[in-house]
Amino acid sequence: MFGALAGVVLFFLVFDPRLVDPGYWIWLMEGDPATQYLGWRFFRAEPWHWPPGMIRGYGLEVGSAIVFTDSIPIAAFAAKLLSPFLEEPFQYFGMWALLCFALQGFFGGLLAALASERPVERYAITLLFVASLPVMDRAIGHFALMSHWLVLWGLWLALRPNRELSTGQWVAATCIASLVHAYLLYIVLALWVADVLRRRHFDPQPRPSLGDWVRHVVVVSMALVATMALAGYFLLPAHAVTGGAQYYGKYATNLNAFWNPGWGSRFLPGLAVMKGAELEGHAYLGLGMLVLLPIALLTLIAPGSARPNVKPYVPLIAVGFLLWMLAVSHLVAWGDRVVLEIPIRGKLLDTIATLRASGRLAWVALYGLWFAAVAIVATRFKPRVATALIVGAVALQFADISPRYVSMRDYFADRFIATPRNARARSSRRSGRRPRSTTGRFAWRRSRTWRAAGSGSRSTRSTTAWRSTPVSSRGCRSPRVDAANGVITRTLKDGPLDPTTLYLLWSRDAKLDWAIGPDDGVGVFDGYFVVAPGWFAQPRGSIAPEYLVRGPSAVSPGGGGGSGVRAVGSPQAGVRSGQAHCPSATPP
């Protein structure tokens, strides 16, 4: 329990306690947290569907699932079950972050117990895992990806000397990972494969029988597939699942990642990396571990030293190395230059590109090297020397990364507490009539697009489940999206506009030919042209005069019998009228 307590203490040293207040949600209304929070809001507002993870109103005609919104599905399911007893609005992301710090310490403690039998060393090793920079870095808004305790859990299961298959724990670890984040599922599955191979082929005798081994694989696989089906993983067509072939390699791990602090190190300078890899590819070992690792290596190769028995760990070493290679990607970069490009094309690239943020896969190598360093030192040196080395290395680690923690604490206080950037979202609840749906052509996710649909039981076409770029090297094939876009295009041209729908036009070329009446509201909100049919048919709240005016006074006459309105939207959106766009279902 020391590790869990240490994690809780660290959380409150860095974060304001208000983040765990379920009624304090305004801090989530910016960037990625906004997409995650709104995914949960839509999921909560809808009745249960089959499968339970389905969200019909989040994507309208195409639909989505809670696993594609980055909203921590396991927490969303629990909160929806308890929804009648929870306040409105309700957020669980701060509580999840606190839980992640506690579980990081708990499983770090389990790994520490494998590495050493001496209490002082165990405490030091536990603190090493608690103060993991990749966990802290994800607090900028990737709350599901703060769940590195799942990686530590998988490592602990794969490293245990017990000659058993641990079916129950692997069912729990894989199924929970699938209900947290897809990238963590990839990692836990890889660790499970390493454990399965070890117990059957690499452990000393007696090993599990072939029948027990097959039964273990079948049970874990069936439980995982069933969990994924219930969560909604299979609601979207298989051809839509891609991370974007052109993006694979952009968010990769650099060859200098293990000794590149990026920023915030007290002793080492940051090194150059490729643009886009600053966060996703970050895998800094820390100065304490950079000092301890060579010492551990020297004890293994020193003349007269006993040869270690590495056979049981061969599958884990192989899996860690393979994940690191995938993290590096086919565009092998040293600093800010690509030094080697491995030719990968076609379907193989499309398949690997589901790991578009491949740098995350380096976490296994990071934690594996930490564990190897402390475990080797703990077993190869005399107790007093080993304790001094481990405690000294962890102290050096803390001294090295402490400036980063101080800076991150100030950053979080400014972003989440002192100056929430969407204070006006509070007033949106006083806006009077709320449309049941928000519509527009399917496009790249933008949190500000969804503010109008963020509360109440409404629907939206603009979701975080897909990316609008034609990403597949095989071409764009998405009949459901094409059909939905066709309906929108015809409605904008021939009408009538749905009075229960708020229309957001974000393309410079989107043309609205349907005549806007005197009771319709039009305006520009956050750079998007907005049409609210029938908005002024009855008195509205205080937000209406600020953003919307009556139709004819805000538009210029055009030809074709319609209003001739052209949206003045976001130049980055790039959605042209009549142009097909291909979605992808890889969680961000």
| pLDDT, one tens digit for every residue, the chain (588 residues) | 899 999 999 999 999 999 999 999 999 988 899 999 999 999 999 999 999 999 988 765 566 899 999 999 999 999 999 999 999 999 999 999 999 999 999 999 999 999 999 999 999 999 999 999 999 999 989 999 999 999 999 999 999 998 889 999 999 999 999 999 999 999 999 999 999 999 999 999 999 999 999 999 999 999 999 999 999 999 877 666 655 678 889 999 999 999 999 988 999 999 999 988 888 889 999 999 999 999 999 999 988 888 889 999 999 999 999 999 999 999 999 999 999 999 988 888 888 888 889 999 999 999 999 999 999 999 999 999 999 999 999 999 999 999 999 999 998 888 887 655 444 334 333 334 444 555 544 333 333 333 333 344 455 555 444 443 444 444 444 566 677 777 777 887 787 888 878 887 766 566 667 778 888 888 887 777 788 888 888 776 555 556 778 876 444 433 333 333 433 333 232 222 222 233 333 334
Angle at CA 482, nearest 5°, toward 479 and 487? 125
* pTM for the structure as a whole: 0.83
Torsion, Cα 230 234 484 240, to 10 degrees, reads 150
Q: In whole angstroms, give the CA distance from residue 392 to residue 398.
A: 10
Angle at CA 465, nearest 5°, toward 463 and 468? 80
DSSP per-residue codes, 381-444: S-HHHHHHHHHHHHHHHHHHHHHHHHHHHHHHIIIIII--TTGGGGGGGGSSS--SEEE----S
Q: In whole angstroms, give the CA distance from residue 58 to residue 45.
A: 11
Which amino acid would we find at residue 572? Q
Q: Report CA torsion sign: 169, 170, 172, 173.
A: positive
pLDDT of amino acid 532: 85
Length of the chain: 588
The values of phi and psi at residue 198, to 5°, are -65, -50
| Bridge partners (DSSP) listed for residue 503 | 439, 531
**Residues 356, 584: contact at Cβ < 8 Å?**
no
Mark out the alpha helices in 166-302 (DSSP H runs). 167-178, 182-197, 210-231, 277-280, 287-301
**Residues 548, 521: contact at Cβ < 8 Å?**
yes
pLDDT of amino acid 46: 92
pLDDT of amino acid 516: 80
Q: In whole angstroms, give the CA distance from residue 253 to residue 260.
A: 11
pLDDT of amino acid 487: 77
* Ramachandran class of 214: left when φ > 0, alpha when ψ lies in -120 to 50, beta otherwise: alpha
Q: In whole angstroms, give the CA distance from residue 584 to residue 566.
A: 29
**Residues 152, 367: contact at Cβ < 8 Å?**
yes
206, exposed or middle or buried, with CB in 10 Å at 0-12, 13-18, 19+?
A: exposed
The number of helices, as runs of H, and strands, as runs of E, in the chain is: 19, 12
Question: String of b and e for 412-449 (b: at least 16 CB within 10 Å)?
Answer: beebbbeebebeebeebeebeeebebbbbbbbbbbbbb
Q: In whole angstroms, give the CA distance from residue 173 to residue 151.
A: 9
